[in-house]
Amino acid sequence: MGGRETDMVLLDANGIRCDGRRVDEPRRIMIRAGVLHNANGSAYIEFGDNKIVAGVFGPRDVHPKHQSNAETGILRVRYHMQPYSVTERKRPAPSRREIEISKVIKEALLPAVMLERFPRTAVDVFVEILQADGGSRCAALDAAAVALADAGIPMRDMVSACAAGKVADTIVLDINNEEDQAGQADMPVAIMPNSGQVTLLQLDGVLTRDEYRKCIETGIAGCRLVYDIQKRALAERHFKGAGQ
């Protein structure tokens, strides 16, 4: 059910996946905060072979003016893939997929960002995918959340994201590009780790009730791993030598 035909062994008899990971093992994750000088806040993430930069401006004046809201600030997110981020040149104009991902990232960040403190302003998040490798929306969201915290935008909580999925009839954590293409289901999840609230949940594929429950639990466990790395990145940037 689902997935493209492939000769690749997605999961071998020992429970090892096509890239050598166990079913509950995420890819290598590295996050660095404050990588850009000209943005108010920024972050760089490597999530497996994903390489993503996020830059944040604001809160600042809203242009065009008609978008501004007298009651609250607004959040604008642009997720954009560089032409060289995939194997075939990607046309630089925003695609349907990029517009959708920009929207879901914005909606996943909104519950955390305290925009009501800055009426009539905008917070702009720009996410550039330098290299894509499956699960880029989660990685982009992780980088965007760190960039927002780096910019000093008040947040109720961080936002951490990770995908889970179904490959060879097994629920696995953090599916890569091959597993995404040939696997049976892909479920990106984002949470606010301290409150436990889910801010992003998508599902592409078919799961039974039990599989669904296991998949979401696996995804949330992945988010908690990401959260620790996000905190480390912020601490490295801001608490050099200070505090605990």
Partner 1 sequence: MPRTVMPGDTITREARRAGDNVLLDGDTLVSTAVGIVNVSDDTVSVIPLSGKYMPRADDLVVGMVISHTSQAWELDINAPYVGFLLATDVFGRDFASHADELTSKLALGDLVAARVANFDRTRDPLITIDDRDLGKIDSGELVKMAPGKVSSLIGRQGSMIQAIETATDAAVTIGQNGWAAVSCESADGLLRAKRAIGVIDQWAYSPGLMDRVKSALGHGGG
Positions touching partner 1 (CB under 8 A) are 40-41, 58-61, 70, 73, 112, 114, 118-121, 149-158, 192-195, 231, 234-235, 238-244
Shortest approach of partner 1 to residue 59 CB, angstroms? Answer: 4
Shortest approach of partner 1 to residue 119 CB, angstroms? Answer: 6
SS3 string, 64-109, reads CHHHCCCCCCEEEEEEEECCCCCCCCCCCCCCHHHHHHHHHHHHHH
CA distance 6 to 203: 21
Interior angle at CA 144, CA 221 and CA 193, nearest 5: 30
Task: Tell the burial category of 28 from Cβ atoms under 10 Å away from its Cβ (0-12, 13-18, 19+).
Answer: exposed
Shortest approach of partner 1 to residue 9 CB, angstroms? Answer: 40
Which is nearer to partner 1, 81 or 144 (by Cβ)?
A: 144
Which is nearer to partner 1, 79 or 227 (by Cβ)?
A: 227
Shortest approach of partner 1 to residue 77 CB, angstroms? Answer: 18
Which is nearer to partner 1, 4 or 240 (by Cβ)?
A: 240
Q: Give the number of other Cβ atoms within 10 Å of residue 105's Cβ.
A: 29
Amino acid letter for position 179: E
Both tokens assigned to 96: 């349907």
Instruction: Give Cα 120 distance to the centre of its chain.
Output: 27
Both tokens assigned to 16: 């090892």
Instruction: Give Cα 25 distance to the centre of its chain.
Output: 17
Shortest approach of partner 1 to residue 135 CB, angstroms? Answer: 23
SS3 string, 45-68, reads EEECCEEEEEEEEEEEECCCHHHC
Shortest approach of partner 1 to residue 239 CB, angstroms? Answer: 5
Shortest approach of partner 1 to residue 238 CB, angstroms? Answer: 5
Which is nearer to partner 1, 213 or 232 (by Cβ)?
A: 232
Which is nearer to partner 1, 9 or 114 (by Cβ)?
A: 114
Which is nearer to partner 1, 90 or 238 (by Cβ)?
A: 238
- Per-residue DSSP letter, 124: E
Which is nearer to partner 1, 59 or 183 (by Cβ)?
A: 59
- For residue 171, give the 3-state DSSP assignment: strand
